[in-house]
Amino acid sequence: MMASFFSGALNEIRGKGVLNILAVLVDRSGEGPKYQLIQPDQNDGFLFSINPWVSLEFRILIDLPVDHEHINVVTVHGRDKKITAKQSITPGKHYRRFVKKVKNRATENVPYLSTKHEGNNTRIIFTANGKFEMWEVAIPTRILNGQAHFFLTVQKLYEGRMYNYEGKVYIPETQYLGYQDWPHLQEYLNKIVPLDQLEEIDFDQMLEILAREDRPEEVLAEDNIGAVKYFCLASGLGLAAVNANEAMIHWSEIISPERLACLEKGQLIRFAGITFGIKDAETVLFLEGVEK
């Protein structure tokens, strides 16, 4: 990603109608809570760094226009990725404000406090003009040189053209592969997207779309070369195609001078080795010594 990827993502999402995305630090050391607005670095979204054993509480604030029904703020939770719509805290105002509470906490076998992916983010779903996009707004932690570094991140996760197929919202797997395996997202989109606003297709047209957009994945011949399939800023985890396999990438294995080490989809990387690790109670491959 470019050095100014934060401001680029912020400008793009504002162009879609989002008014503001803000990070607030909550101070509960006195009689009542005090709220401090934190200005992120425009290059990488850096907020501040602190001793990693200090307990912190944040708020993510997202402001939307009242007349943009095609923009919705949701939370995604649980291993089955249930989707819950968030409610505005500013009824009757000229804007809709949504709030996400984020706290750093301890994790088993990890001797510091950090914001975890399952609680550090909220999502924004766009459904204008038949196009689906899901963005993630988060406050992740990176532990560097004995300090906890906090960032505000804004990242587009998924996108695809929506169709009316057999009376349901359909997104081709050639555009968003995970849609068919996410029943809660299918259920949510079928609730909020009017089918009469989508192009209706039949079975033959669906097959035509899939055949037109299908592109075989290139297999890289070199043993220590991989291609990034995705990288999530909020979790610090990514996935790369390595020969005929797939391997996870943890941010701490990316060799980079950047405060927020990250990778782009399609980017070619070199790696020093492959090891086994645990993700979601399953043993998976992880890359070591990743270079851009």
Strand 199-201 to 163-165 pairing: parallel
Domain spanning 225-291 has what CATH number?
Answer: 2.40.50.140
Give the pLDDT band (50/70/90) at residue 218: low
How large is the average pLDDT for residues 9-24?
97
Q: What is the pLDDT of residue 191?
A: 97
Contact 8, 15 (CB under 8 A): no
In the chain, count of helices (H) and strands (E)? Answer: 3, 25
Taking only the tens place, the pLDDT of each residue in 97-124 is: 999 999 999 977 777 899 999 899 999 9
Taking only the tens place, the pLDDT of each residue in 156-167 is: 999 999 999 999
Mean pLDDT of the chain: 93
Per cent of the chain over pLDDT 70 is 97
Give the pLDDT band (50/70/90) at residue 220: low
Q: What is the pLDDT of residue 101?
A: 98
Q: What is the pLDDT of residue 30?
A: 84
Q: What is the pLDDT of residue 49?
A: 97
Residue 207, classified by CB atoms within 10 Å of its CB into exposed (0-12), middle (13-18) or buried (19+), is exposed
Residue 232, pLDDT > 60, answer: yes
Q: Could you tell me the pTM of the whole model?
A: 0.94
How large is the average pLDDT for residues 12-40?
95
| Host H or E run for residue 206 | helix 203-213
Q: What is the pLDDT of residue 64?
A: 98
Give the pLDDT band (50/70/90) at residue 172: very high
How large is the average pLDDT for residues 72-95?
96
Taking only the tens place, the pLDDT of each residue in 270-283 is: 999 999 888 877 88
Q: What is the pLDDT of residue 3?
A: 47
How large is the average pLDDT for residues 127-150?
96
Contact 47, 54 (CB under 8 A): no
Full strand arrangement of the beta sheet holding 268-270: 254-255, 290-291, 268-270, 225-232, 237-242, 245-250, 282-288, 273-279
Contact 126, 114 (CB under 8 A): no
Structural domain boundaries in the chain: 5-159, 162-213, 225-291
| Residues written for the chain | 292
Give the pLDDT band (50/70/90) at residue 233: very high
Where residue 146 falls (left for φ over 0; alpha for ψ -120 to 50; beta otherwise) is: left
Cα gap 143→236, rounded to integer Å: 11
Taking only the tens place, the pLDDT of each residue in 142-159 is: 999 999 999 999 999 999
Residue 1, pLDDT > 70, answer: no
